[in-house]
Structure 1
């Protein structure tokens, strides 16, 4: 019989460490440009699919701040807890997602983990089957944008736990 140890849950969500610096306040023009890029990239994309992409990229990049934000945004938009939880093991849980979502998830992984090489032709071709060209261009822009947000979050150690849906655009 397997027993699980439950860790106490704190209600104040106190971060283990403070952010290294408040980059958005110190580089406000960059932050504003990122927000504009984020808004432009999402144009014409299904909001549910977009949150799945943002969550998956954030999982791969280990960005706790963005995971907190986009899981909350997805839940607020009506996404199921089950699909969010299963996203980290999507290859074993493909039945939770549509073919179009799976194509977007595969493309997200290929664009995010460039250390594995170029985006494989078969991954790109699959995405191109499910997305019109303008939609595909915006999807790649959205994947690129969340990867940029992740790099700010990870580098500056932005602490998760304090985001409320609607607080920040990205």
Structure 2
């Protein structure tokens, strides 16, 4: 079966380029390992196989351990695998990704305690962008393992 849905990058190039710019700005200054963990967790929650495949592959290439990759989905139960800062980022990622439930004050406060204001803003922007990428990939039926190296 061929994908009969639009290619967002080709059909909406201005929006796509703007999102790439937002994504690049969001990542600036954040630890690359943390970036991948956040993107993996949001993609798991959103059931975005395309982005999950991409970000677990990128994390492996960047030297992330298989052990930690396997523990992202259960990070609370495997907290010893993640730093306090990573745990705060993962909790905030879950709250923002599942926004209908709101972002609890304690989750936000934990992240604010681990990240300075500027870095917290960057983290929030990163969470916003991965959720947008997930929605694009799911809506346009992107196939995991194909065409994943769009410029970012």
Q: TM-score with structure 1 length normalisation? A: 0.85
Which residue of 1 is the match for residue 139 of structure 2?
155
User: Deviating runs (4+, > 4 A) in structure 1?
Assistant: none
Alpha-carbon displacement from aligned partner over 1:66-113 (angstroms, at most 9, x marks no partner): 001101110110001111111111121111100000000000000000
RMSD, matched Cα: 1.4
Shift of 1:163: 5.2
Report how far residue 19 of structure 1 moved: 6.0
Gaps of 5+ in 1: 1-15
Match of 1:96 among 78, 81, 94: 81
Q: Where does structure 2 lack aligned partners over 5 or more consecutive residues?
A: none
CA displacement at 1:162 relative to structure 2: 2.5
Length, aligned pairs only = 152
Query: Which structure has the greater CA radius of gyration?
Result: 1
Please report the TM-score for the alignment, with normalisation by the length of structure 2: 0.95
Deviation at 1:37, TM superposition (A): 0.3
How many Å separate the matches in 2 of 1:37 and 1:23?
Answer: 16
Select the residue among 19, 24, 28 that pairs with 1:39.
24
Give the match for residue 7 of structure 1.
none
Q: Work out whether 1:146 is the aligned partner of 2:130.
A: yes
**Partners in 2 of 1:88 and 1:126 — Cα distance?**
19
| Alignment partners' CA distance in 1, 2:112 and 2:63 | 27
| Residues 69 and 163, structure 1, Cα contact 8 Å, conserved in 2 | no
Cα displacement (A) at 1:149: 0.5
